[in-house]
Structure 1
C-alpha cells in the first residue's frame, strides 16, 4: 500500500482548491443532466456558501492535502457531526491529481482519512457519487461503502429533456 501523509490544508491551498472545486461541482451537476450549466454554477455557489460560511474555518470541516514524499497527490474534505449512534463523517470532496490516478493513491488517501476519522470517534463515513463516475464508485465499493440511496431518471423527450 502506498504511504500517504495527510496534512491540514493551508489557507492558500484552500483558496486554490475552493476556486476549482465550485467549478468542478457545477460541471458534475451539469453532466448529470439535472440542470443547465448556469443553474449548476448558481447551485454550486449557494451550496458552498451554505456549507462553508466561514471557509475552511467553518466548524467541523476538515480539509487535507495528501502527500507522498514531497508530492501533493490529492485531497480530501470531511465534515464530522455528532449523531445518536456516534459521530458521522461525510466526504464532501475527494480528488486524486490527474497524473497520480490509477496508482493506488486514491485508496491510500481514503484509508488515511478513515484513520483520522477513527481517531475522532467517528462511527460511519458517507459520501455521494455521481452516476457516471464508475471508477470512483468501484473504488468506494471495494473499500466497503454500501449504497444507502439510489436516484434514477428516465428521459421522455420533449423540451425539458437533456
Structure 2
C-alpha cells in the first residue's frame, strides 16, 4: 500500500463524490432527510476544507496497490496540550475492491504516516449502520469514545 498526495484534479472528483456519499450516509443513519443531508454535507465540506487541498492541518492522499488506485485517506492533524492528534475524516476503499484487505492496509498506512508526524492518537467517526467498518476499526484497536443513539418511532 502506497499513499500519494492527492492532486488538484483528483481532489475535484473526490470532493464531489465524497459529499454525495457523506450525504447518503447521513440520511441512511436517520439523522436527517436526504435534502437536509445534502445541505449538511455541502456545509461540512465547505467548513472543513475551506481552502481545498491547501486547508491548514488537512492531509489528503490517494491509496495505491501498485499502480491501481484503491482508496482515499483524509486526516486532520492538530496540536493539543499533550501533543499532535489526528482525526480521520475519510478512510475509503473503492467499492469494487472492498473485502480484499485494502481498508486494513489504509489504516496501517495512516498509522505509519501519523507516527512519522509525531501524532499521539488517531480518532474517527463511523456511522452506526456501517458494521463492516466498525468491526474493522475495533479489530485495528480503535476504542469507542462516544455513542449517539436514536429510536425510530
Scaled by the length of structure 1, what TM-score is found? 0.93
Asked if 1:101 is matched to 2:98, the reply is yes
Report the Cα distance in structure 2 between the residues aligned to 1:51 and 1:109, rounded to whole angstroms. 21
1:6-155 to structure 2, matched below 5 A, reads 6-155=3-152
Report the Cα distance in structure 2 between the residues aligned to 1:141 and 1:64, rounded to whole angstroms. 23
What SS does the aligned partner of 1:73 have? strand
Report the Cα distance in structure 1 between the residues aligned to 2:19 and 2:100, rounded to whole angstroms. 26
- Unaligned segments of structure 2, at least 5 residues: none
Measured against aligned partners, the alpha-carbon deviations of 1:46-66 in whole angstroms (never above 9, x if no partner) come to 111111110111001100000
Scaled by the length of structure 2, what TM-score is found? 0.98
Measured against aligned partners, the alpha-carbon deviations of 1:50-101 in whole angstroms (never above 9, x if no partner) come to 1111011100110000001110011110000001111100000111111211
Q: Please name the residue that 1:160 is paired with.
A: none
What SS does the aligned partner of 2:146 have? coil
Report the Cα distance in structure 1 between the residues aligned to 2:93 and 2:44, rounded to whole angstroms. 22
Q: CA RMSD in A?
A: 0.7
Per-residue deviation, 1:155: 2.2
Report the Cα distance in structure 1 between the residues aligned to 2:27 and 2:54, rounded to whole angstroms. 29
What SS does the aligned partner of 1:82 have? strand
Runs of 4 or more off by more than 6 Å in structure 1?
Answer: none
- Unaligned segments of structure 1, at least 5 residues: 157-162
